[in-house]
Amino acid sequence: MKSLAAASSLLLLLVSVHDAGSDEQPSLTPFLSHISSARLLRDIEVLSAPDFHGRQTGTASDERSAGFVADRFASLALHSISDSSSKWKISTAVPTNHISEGSRLRLAGKFGQWTARISHDYLPVLDSSSVDLTGSIVFVGYGISDPARDWDEYAGQNVRGKIVLFLRGQPPREGMRVSHQDKIRYARMNGASAFLMCTGPVLTAYEARRGVGSSPVAFYNQVEAGESLPGAWLSTEVCERILGDTQAKTNHTLRDAQEQLNRMVIQSRATATQADMQWRSSEERGELHNVLALLPGADAGLRSEYVLLGGHRDHFGEQAGVLFPGADDNASGTAILLEIARILAESNTKPKRSVLFVSFSGEEQGLWGSRLYISKPARPLNHTSAMINVDHAGIGNGRLTVGITGLPNDLARGAARTAGIAERVDLYGFFPGGDHVPFKEVGIPTVTIVTGGTHPHFHTPSDTADSIQPDVLAAAARYVLALVWELANR
């Protein structure tokens, strides 16, 4: 696969056949001032409005949002990827999951009976199967059953026909890698009928940096058909209430339990709480739409190489009677994608390499759109110099968190200096989630850009346009533009 270093060497070899000015990088300074916070906010307001119904992949609202992006690309006179009737899109059939209005979670214990509030106290897992059951709750720590590693949190606990409660994540044990899908398998293997999960009060450094909160969030199990269990995400507060309601003479708080778990001391125990879980879920088939457009490079020797700028457009739709607007996640990244496309398309000075703009769908369900692109690339993967992914770019503490793989850190720092935010960019290595992952897996260098600090509305109904911070959004857009320019002209 052709790296940027190799491309730079090739450029040096070919310098004799280019004019003397072809090696000089055009100045980006005039373009940076063209970024419009008002235009960025307007696009976020449109995409996160109720008219788009949360842009769930495979639904009519996602198709409408794809049309919104395609129309914008067309208005900029960008090149489409084909001459077919779907010239702006690469599409595929996907399942679409929906939780109907009227779900219910009631708890009964020593504290009495209590009805949890949808989206505030709990939220059904969005591809959870329908459920109507009442069962006792058993706390199983992180929900891991791995006797080969001498760590079985189900040992000595009878969970058959019961509801297991576990924490997201895993203890900080060297070499332990446990996915949510593994936890579903462990629960099924031990006979559980359903599960509840929550975020513990003790966060890892990575979780704290990403601003992981205590509220229930929209989430997919992402397990194979027939392998799912009905389940719900609880708020940390509700988990604390359940764990404090035990038959033991000495009760421990959720923090006590998690701190012991992190020291590799198993904390599984039966609680005195019963849960009544009821909701109806359905699955239909729909169409996923990636939307693509091309800005051809200006250099005859480099225009067959591509810098891909991407961001996912999809969100969670309307679930259990609640709208998930998805302003920060990821109408913000989509707005930046459209603004960078506008500035480069309207400029008289074009970058040397071609820039491919991709609005992905299906990110929330398991990176479906970016994996579709890797399987059916619009341009050769071995001519893709780098992939830039923009996500969660509208809220934060004024800093940018940048994950970079396969590229020198100096390149990312140089872009920060060009954008005028050199002291506000924090560089890290590989980020484990996002549409950059499939590109990294096939050896393409990647840069992932998210705004730093807490994102308090992550995967919740409160992720609305009025929570977006214009200065944070504009700074992210400036950095993305500087990075695209640097990569496309090196």
Please tell me the predicted confidence (pLDDT) of residue 146: 87
Cis peptide before 330 (omega within 30 of 0): yes
Q: What angle, 0 to 180 degrees and rounded to 10, lies between the N-to-C axes of helices 60-75 and 332-346? A: 20
Give dist(CA 57, CA 367) in Å, integer.
Answer: 11
Q: Where are the domains of the chain?
A: 4-96+284-489, 101-279
Task: Identify any residues that bridge with 233 across adjacent strands, giving them in sequence order.
Answer: 123, 197
Please tell me the predicted confidence (pLDDT) of residue 85: 63
Please tell me the predicted confidence (pLDDT) of residue 23: 54
Q: How far is CA 393 from CA 134, 150, 164, 185, 207, in A?
A: 41, 42, 36, 35, 17
> Which one, of 355, 420, 309, 349, lies nearest residue 31 by Cα?
349
Give dist(CA 311, CA 363) in Å, integer.
Answer: 9
Give dist(CA 218, CA 216) in Å, integer.
Answer: 7
Please tell me the predicted confidence (pLDDT) of residue 123: 96
> Which one, of 268, 262, 266, 267, lies nearest residue 171 by Cα?
262
Please tell me the predicted confidence (pLDDT) of residue 87: 84
Q: 67, 103 in Cβ contact below 8 A?
A: no
Q: 62, 314 in Cβ contact below 8 A?
A: yes
CA 54 to mean position of chain CA atoms: 15
**Structure-block tokens of residue 430:** 């590989």
Please tell me the predicted confidence (pLDDT) of residue 83: 65
What is the rounded (10 degree) CA torsion for 372, 374, 380, 385?
A: 130
**Most distant CA pair in the chain, distance:** 84
Please tell me the predicted confidence (pLDDT) of residue 10: 32
Over the chain (490 residues), what is each successive 10-residue block's mean pLDDT? 41 32 64 92 98 97 96 95 78 94 94 92 94 96 90 96 96 85 95 96 80 87 83 96 70 88 94 96 95 96 97 97 97 98 94 97 96 96 98 95 96 95 95 95 97 90 97 97 96
Please say whether the dihedral angle defined by the alpha carbons of residues 408, 413, 417 and 418, taken in this order, is positive or negative: positive
C-beta atoms surrounding 60 within 10 Å = 11
**Structure-block tokens of residue 244:** 């404090």
Please say whether the dihedral angle defined by the alpha carbons of residues 12, 14, 20 and 23, taken in this order, is positive or negative: negative
In this prediction the pTM is 0.90
Please tell me the predicted confidence (pLDDT) of residue 25: 65
Give dist(CA 264, CA 260) in Å, integer.
Answer: 6
Please say whether the dihedral angle defined by the alpha carbons of residues 384, 416, 207 and 116, taken in this order, is positive or negative: negative
Please tell me the predicted confidence (pLDDT) of residue 288: 97
Please tell me the predicted confidence (pLDDT) of residue 144: 96
Write down the architecture of domain 4-96+284-489 according to CATH: 3-Layer(aba) Sandwich (3.40)
Q: 353, 305 in Cβ contact below 8 A?
A: yes
Please say whether the dihedral angle defined by the alpha carbons of residues 340, 359, 350 and 446, taken in this order, is positive or negative: positive
Write a three-state SS string for the chain.
Answer: CCCHHHHHHHHHHCHHHCCCCCCCCCCCHHHHCCCCHHHHHHHHHHHCCHHHCCCECCCHHHHHHHHHHHHHHHHCCCECCCCCCCCCEEEEEEEEEEECCCCEEEEEECCEEEECCECCCEEECCCCCCEEEEEEEEECCCCCEEHHHCEECCCCCCCCCCEEEEECCCCCCCCCCCCHHHHHHHHHHCCCCEEEEECCCCCCHHHHHHCCCCCCCCCCCCCCCCCCCCEEEECHHHHHHHHCCECCCCCCCHHHHHHHHHCCCCCCEEEEEEEEEEECEEEEEEEEEEEEEEECCCCCCCCCCEEEEEEECCECCEECCEECCCHHHHHHHHHHHHHHHHHHHHCCCCCCCEEEEEEECCCCCCCHHHHHHHHCCCCCHHHEEEEEEECCCCCCCCCEEEEEECCCHHHHHHHHHHHCCHHHEEEECCCCCCCCHHHHHCCCCEEEEEECCCCCCCCCCCCCHHHCCHHHHHHHHHHHHHHHHHHHHC
Give dist(CA 155, CA 377) in Å, integer.
Answer: 47
> Which one, of 392, 468, 459, lies nearest residue 199 by Cα?
459
CATH topology of domain 101-279: Glucose Oxidase; domain 1 (3.50.30)
